């Protein structure tokens, strides 16, 4: 969160307070839009799934099994961003209630999750004085961060912080490309996708072997996904040099092609103006082909082709001429794939994935600018996800007000946040904890077996 974002948040709060005081009783249920500390207090008090976050971050080490690592949760770093840009790093907690009480008391505008360290991060200075460098990160989920601002050169509907359903397709594509690769190519099972609250998605890979990856291994995985090598100055964003596509890229291409042709072409009007189609022609390194296409398109400028068809038709022209095989330069056929990759392949923030000690915003936080909850996204139904329909803080408060004076523990279930929390539990948390407990049980039994064998010796 930037300072400017927090300052704006505070300005909103003052307006909301006035509106609340001036509102007559009939409007009591209508909670004004906005994000402020008072709303957050209610959210953390009644809706935020503290216990679920604790269970997740404990990975089965909740003290019930003799094989548990009781210090595990207490070595995890949480960081809180408070009102007025106060940033509290290296927060740690020894129990679910400590975590919950601290969140309720401090009411953070943002909660970030860091790594599990070798020792309690809150006591790191004491260990530092002992001289041997023992304070070091030892575990962290493998994470991915995909942000719409990295796609500004391939979307025409919005720019910067804005998103709409048209450009959100790019996030849907990213999930559909990365999720199956994490499962099939790397064998990961416990994967959580989360809406960042504004213009992107986060991915948390939580399998034990993912959490224990070294920084070098994380870098290799991030590199595996890197195809986009473009920068502001190069026209060609993707270069597919080898003769055959890697199996992962071949599978990905099916997804990219489907969404590029069925959605992005028309929704982003990729060929509708000279400026736009020139951007694509610049990716074809054959003067005779580009001038042929340019001539064709300039001629039918006056014709009566509908705007939607123009994009589809012009793309057909490109494909036909590049795949015809009559061009002289070798590898020109690959330009078709390169164009599709350039306009649709996921663009990862590599640094976030590469380093174990990179912090990432916790799921179920609320984005201070949009007021939207960072809800999980079902990768199997990600094309149905609509960021503009995600519950906002004020909507949730309104729903609580409508529900009367409920004091039940499951008040969240009567709000539109209910289905997100139920999805988080059933599709992510429960299977994860089941396999964590099995792992703890197995390694405990193996240890017992080992000590028995040692005794017989």
**279 or 358: whose CB is closer to Zn ion?**
279
DSSP letter (8 states) at residue 429: I
CB of 157 to Zn ion, least distance (A): 3
**166 or 236: whose CB is closer to Zn ion?**
166
240 touches Zn ion (CB under 5 A): no
Q: Write the CA distances from 343 to 90, 276, 427, integer angstroms.
A: 40, 12, 32
**88 or 157: whose CB is closer to Zn ion?**
157
Contact 238, 230 (CB under 8 A): yes
Q: Which stretch binds Zn ion (CB under 5 A): 7-15, 104-112, 165-173, 174-182?
A: 165-173
**170 or 227: whose CB is closer to Zn ion?**
170
The CA distance from 328 to 315, in Å, is 21
- Count each helix (H run) and each strand (E run) in the chain, helices first: 18, 9
The CA distance from 380 to 205, in Å, is 16
CB of 306 to Zn ion, least distance (A): 22
Within 349-408, the residues that bind Zn ion by CB under 5 A are none
The CA distance from 173 to 168, in Å, is 9
Run of H or E including 151:
none
The CA distance from 93 to 122, in Å, is 9
Choose which of 1, 82, 88, 157 interacts with Zn ion (CB under 5 A).
157
158 touches Zn ion (CB under 5 A): yes
The CA distance from 268 to 282, in Å, is 18
The CA distance from 198 to 279, in Å, is 28
Whether 274 is catalytic is no
Choose which of 46, 123, 166, 319 interacts with Zn ion (CB under 5 A).
166
**82 or 164: whose CB is closer to Zn ion?**
164
Run of H or E including 335:
helix 334-344
Q: Which stretch binds Zn ion (CB under 5 A): 27-35, 59-67, 125-133, 156-164?
A: 156-164
- In DSSP notation, 213-246 reads --HHHHHHHHHHT------TT-S------SSS--
The CA distance from 125 to 104, in Å, is 27
CB of 353 to Zn ion, least distance (A): 25
Can you say how many angstroms the Cα of residue 167 is from the centroid of all Cα atoms in its chain? 15
**10 or 149: whose CB is closer to Zn ion?**
149
Whether 145 is catalytic is yes
| Identified catalytic residue from 62, 83, 100, 147 | 147
What mask, x for binding Zn ion by CB under 5 A, covers residues 116 to 155? ----------------------------------------
| Identified catalytic residue from 77, 120, 337, 399 | 77
CB of 267 to Zn ion, least distance (A): 9
Contact 340, 322 (CB under 8 A): no
Q: Which stretch binds Zn ion (CB under 5 A): 166-174, 316-324, 433-441, 444-452?
A: 166-174
The CA distance from 260 to 281, in Å, is 17
Q: Which stretch binds Zn ion (CB under 5 A): 110-118, 160-168, 208-216, 403-411?
A: 160-168
CB of 169 to Zn ion, least distance (A): 9
167 touches Zn ion (CB under 5 A): yes
**149 or 217: whose CB is closer to Zn ion?**
149
Size of the site for Zn ion (CB under 5 A): 5
CB of 262 to Zn ion, least distance (A): 17
Q: For residues 242, 244, 247 and 252, what is the CA-based torsion angle, rounded to 10 degrees?
A: 80
User: Cα angle at 439 between 66 and 136, to 5 degrees?
Assistant: 85
Contact 216, 161 (CB under 8 A): no
**127 or 260: whose CB is closer to Zn ion?**
260
Residue 388, token pair as written in the block:
């503009």
CB of 260 to Zn ion, least distance (A): 16
Residues 6+ apart with CB under 8 A from 74: 92, 93, 94, 120
CB of 162 to Zn ion, least distance (A): 6
Choose which of 42, 164, 240, 312 interacts with Zn ion (CB under 5 A).
164
**221 or 270: whose CB is closer to Zn ion?**
270
| Identified catalytic residue from 100, 139, 141, 145 | 145
Contact 157, 164 (CB under 8 A): yes
DSSP letter (8 states) at residue 397: H
Whether 100 is catalytic is no
CB of 252 to Zn ion, least distance (A): 22
Interface residues with Zn ion (CB under 5 A)? 157-158, 164, 166-167
Q: Which residues are catalytic?
A: 77, 145, 147
């Amino acid at each position: 969160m930037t300072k400017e974002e927090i300052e704006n948040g505070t300005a909103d709060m003052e307006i909301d307070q006035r509106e609340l005081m001036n509102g007559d009783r009939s409007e009591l249920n209508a909670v004004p839009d906005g994000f402020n500390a008072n709303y957050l207090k209610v959210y953390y008090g009644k809706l935020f799934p503290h216990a679920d976050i604790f269970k997740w971050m404990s990975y089965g080490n909740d003290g019930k099994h003799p094989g548990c690592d009781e210090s595990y949760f207490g070595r995890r770093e949480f960081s809180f961003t408070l009102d007025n840009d106060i940033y509290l790093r290296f927060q740690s907690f020894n129990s679910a209630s400590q975590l919950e009480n601290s969140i309720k008391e401090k009411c953070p505008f943002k909660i970030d999750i860091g790594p599990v360290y070798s020792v309690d991060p809150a006591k790191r200075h004491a260990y530092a004085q002992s001289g041997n460098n023992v304070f070091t990160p030892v575990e962290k989920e493998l994470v991915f961060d995909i942000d719409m601002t990295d796609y500004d050169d391939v979307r025409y509907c919005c720019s910067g912080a804005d998103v709409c359903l048209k450009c959100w397709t790019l996030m849907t594509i990213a999930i559909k490309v990365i999720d199956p690769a994490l499962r099939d190519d790397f064998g990961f099972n416990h994967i959580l996708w989360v809406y960042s609250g504004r213009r992107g998605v986060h991915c948390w890979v939580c399998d034990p072997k993912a959490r224990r990856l070294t920084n070098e291994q994380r870098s290799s995985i991030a590199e595996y996904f890197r195809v986009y090598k473009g920068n502001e100055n190069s026209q060609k964003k993707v270069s597919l040099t080898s003769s055959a596509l890697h199996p992962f890229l071949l599978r990905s291409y099916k997804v990219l092609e489907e969404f590029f042709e069925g959605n992005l072409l028309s929704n982003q009007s990729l060929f509708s103006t000279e400026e736009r189609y020139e951007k694509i022609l610049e990716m074809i390194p054959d003067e005779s082909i580009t001038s042929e296409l340019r001539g064709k398109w300039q001629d039918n400028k006056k014709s009566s082709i509908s705007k939607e068809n123009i994009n589809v038709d012009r793309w057909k022209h490109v494909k036909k001429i590049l795949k015809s095989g009559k061009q002289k330069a070798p590898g020109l056929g690959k330009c078709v794939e390169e164009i599709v990759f350039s306009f649709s392949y996921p663009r990862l923030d590599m640094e976030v994935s590469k380093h174990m000690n990179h912090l990432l915003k916790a799921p179920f936080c609320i984005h201070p600018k949009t007021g939207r909850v960072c809800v999980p996204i079902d990768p199997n139904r990600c094309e149905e996800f609509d960021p503009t329909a995600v519950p906002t803080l004020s909507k949730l408060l309104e729903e609580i007000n409508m529900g009367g004076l409920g004091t039940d523990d499951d008040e969240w279930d009567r709000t539109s946040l209910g289905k997100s929390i139920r999805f988080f539990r059933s599709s992510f948390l429960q299977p994860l904890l089941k396999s964590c407990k099995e792992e703890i049980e197995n390694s405990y039994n193996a240890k017992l077996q080992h000590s028995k064998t040692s005794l017989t010796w």
